[in-house]
Amino acid sequence: MTPLTITSADGTTLAAYDHGNETAPTLVCVHGWPDDSTLWDEVVPLLAGRFHVVTFDNRGAGASAAPAGRSAYHLDRLAEDLAAVADAVSPDRPVHVLGHDWGSIYGWHHVTSEQAGDRVASFTSISGPSLDRAGAWIRTGGRDALYQLASSWYVMAFQVPVLPELAIRAGVVDRVIDLMVGESAHPSGGRREMQQGLGLYRANFVPRLLRPRPLSTDVPVQVLTPQDDPAVTPAVQVGAATAAAGDLRVRAIPGSHWVPRSHPKVVAQLTASFVGDVEAR
């Protein structure tokens, strides 16, 4: 499929892909680290009959450009990418957003910003909380917060210069992911996506944990919480979302971290139901 080239606010070019009926409500699917847009390959056919589904490669992934420098991966730039895609594929109608992992994290950043305005009709989040709200939730302490910090050990490891890049090139990160989630639910991206995506962790995590901002949204939000996710616990997803969204639906689902690959029917069914409910309003 020939991608649609979209230019973000800072000049970064993004590769986007159209699926389904362009006259139907638009659903933009946003992948995380270390994936590309093919993360959604099993989900898209289940939704394209009812919606105009758009997938795209994040900056640094797939066929999209990979800008240099840590600041190019700041959450503000990522939210601008989502806004650019939404404006290009649905200029006259709000879009629904489905995000996973970092795609969900910057989906939260977008819908809790003034930039979202009335451009987002609904947001379905999987395994990626608002970093600001997660940072505030972790600072409250408690056993759940300590368990999440322990589960996020790799975040601090990625802050170290050079060594993570060497571990990626040596295949060590691949093996660790397989040990954590199993080969059947491995990410869709490769070592390029792993290495470029380190900028996400280095540009955003520490500032958000040390100085979280109390952001919130009026956009209807659905949080899907995989019950066996070794990296992002249901507790932090629900705790952060409860503080961030006034119109919130939470659904516990089976599976580990990469549920769009391991449980596409569950993801598609719950997303379609939620989007349908919001459209019916």
Beta bridge partners of 250: 223
pLDDT tens readout for residues 166-185: 888 888 888 888 777 765 66
Q: Supply the pLDDT for residue 266.
A: 98
pLDDT tens readout for residues 85-102: 999 999 999 999 999 999
Q: Supply the pLDDT for residue 111.
A: 94
**Within 13 Å of residue 130, how many CA atoms lie on the same side as its CB?**
27
What's the number of domains the chain is made of? 1
pLDDT tens readout for residues 73-83: 999 999 999 99
Residue span of the structural domain in which 140 resides: 4-280
Candidates 56, 105, 112, 44; CA nearest to 272 is 44
State the helix-helix crossing angle for 191-210 and 75-89, rounded to 10 degrees: 120
Spatial strand order in the sheet of 4-7: 4-7, 13-20, 52-56, 26-30, 95-100, 120-126, 221-226, 248-253
Q: Supply the pLDDT for residue 188.
A: 77
With a cut of 60, say whether residue 251 has pLDDT above it.
yes
Q: Which amino acid is residue 159, in one-letter code?
A: Q
Residue 258 belongs to domain with CATH number: 3.40.50.1820
